[in-house]
Amino acid sequence: MKKILVIHGPNLNLLGEREPEVYGRVSMKTIDAALKKMAKANGVAVEIFQSNHEGEIVSKIGEAKRKFDAILINPAAYTHTSVAIRDAVAAVKLPTVEVHLSNIYAREAFRHESLVAPVATGQISGFGAASYELGLLALVKLL
């Protein structure tokens, strides 16, 4: 069975309460449950990881090479700042889909650049919690 690593970056543990007008009222727990259900229905396995620490995310991606077939990641604020996360994604060379709940291109200028997007297979941005499900489906199609 193909295995997909799902990574939530910083502050996504606060989803549901955090700026609901931007990110919606769906909690991370609810998103994770939907992903697990969708994974099961599509015959893939998911492991879900959340961290507020850049280094932990870098390490998790680095260890993914031998353990996973693909990565679904919302790097959150690190999207716009982390050369280390970008380099980790480039290093492991796994199919990777970057997702965002909000449309980062419709927001502040500092969110318009993703350092991760150029080394990802693709990006889904702006569909709320559904961005994650669309991202998972994209990987299922790819694998």
Residue (of 44, 50, 38) closest to 76 by Cα position:
50
Angle at 7 between CA 110 and CA 82, to 5 degrees: 35
Interface residues for ligand DQA in 15-54 (CB under 6 A)? none
Of 111, 127, 130, 142, the one binding ligand DQA by CB under 6 A: 111
Owner of token pair 């200028």:
109
37 CB contacts (<8 Å, ≥6 apart)?
none
Of 13, 27, 52, 102, the one binding ligand DQA by CB under 6 A: 102
Assess 121 for contact with ligand DQA (CB under 6 A). no
Q: What is the DSSP letter of 126?
A: S
Residue 8 is among the residues annotated as catalytic for this protein: no
Residue 53 is among the residues annotated as catalytic for this protein: no
Assess 11 for contact with ligand DQA (CB under 6 A). yes
Owner of token pair 């709320």:
128
Catalytic residues: 23, 100
Per CB under 6 A, residues contacting ligand DQA are 11, 74, 76-77, 79, 100-102, 104, 111
